[in-house]
Amino acid sequence: MKGLVFIAASLDGYIADADEGLDWLQASGGDPAEDYGYATFFDAVDVLLMGRSTYRTVLGFDAWPYEGRRVIVASRSLPASTDASPGGVEVTGEEVASLFDRLAADGIERVYVDGGRLISSCLEAGLIDELIITRVPVVLGGGVPLFSAMARPVELQHIATRTFPSGFVQSHYGLLR
């Protein structure tokens, strides 16, 4: 099973502004017709695993963007639920390593991990295999960081980098094991 990350961050390393908003992504000069490879990436994953804050942000969107996809929210503060149907949302407070073991036992092969603290927890637990990080040419000066503090460094291997006319720079990394 593979743990995968696909995320955008400001040049100074934030994935949301100080109000946990994402408006800066649209205001940053990106091409609205360009998805930066997201659809291809998303079509290849079996499950989306997101943190509580990311889930709260997505609930504020005009429409639920993950219809027909299994979504799991990792949260110790939200009440647990077991709606694992496509289009449903399962909420779990279990440790990420245990959750990955359970998903692997269910035959899941590719897990998309989204949310700064959750990404850091999964990295630290050795559960992330690849990261695709798109740097957006804006400096937010504060907000929600892409990575939280970790007990040890995580070494990555550069796989590829793409540039876009908008100034976005997307780098693909694999974990060194």
**Is 60 exceeded by the pLDDT of residue 84?**
no
Q: Are 42 and 137 in contact (CB under 8 A)?
A: no
Residue pLDDT, tens place only, 51-67? 999 998 888 888 889 98
Average pLDDT, the chain: 91
Q: pTM for the whole thing?
A: 0.92
State which H helix or E strand residue 58 sits in.
helix 52-59
So what's the pLDDT on residue 77? 85
**How much is the pLDDT for 105?**
97
pLDDT of residue 28: 72
Sign of the Cα torsion 122, 87, 23, 31 reads positive
Give every CB contact of residue 160 below 8 A, 6+ residues apart in sequence.
Answer: 171, 172
Angle between helices 52-59 and 116-124 (to 10 degrees): 150
Site of tokens 């990394």 = 173
The answer, yes or no, to whether residue 81 has pLDDT greater than 70, is yes
pLDDT at 86 over 70: no
| pLDDT (0 to 100) of residue 87 | 62
Question: pLDDT band at residue 176, thresholds of 50, 70 and 90?
Answer: confident
CATH code matching the domain that covers 12-136, chosen among 3.90.420.10, 3.40.430.10, 3.90.228.20, 2.40.37.10:
3.40.430.10
Mean of the pLDDT values across residues 80-107? 85
Sequence-separated (6 or more) residues with CB below 8 Å from residue 166: 28, 29, 30, 31, 34, 137
Question: Strand pairing of 14-16 and 81-82?
Answer: unpaired
- For residue 103, pLDDT beyond 80: yes
pLDDT > 70: percent of the chain: 96
| 170 φ/ψ angles, rounded to the nearest 5 degrees | -110, 120
In tens, the pLDDT along 125-136 reads 999 999 999 999
- The answer to whether 18 touches 148, Cβ cutoff 8 Å, is no
Backbone angles phi, psi at 118, to 5 degrees: -65, -40
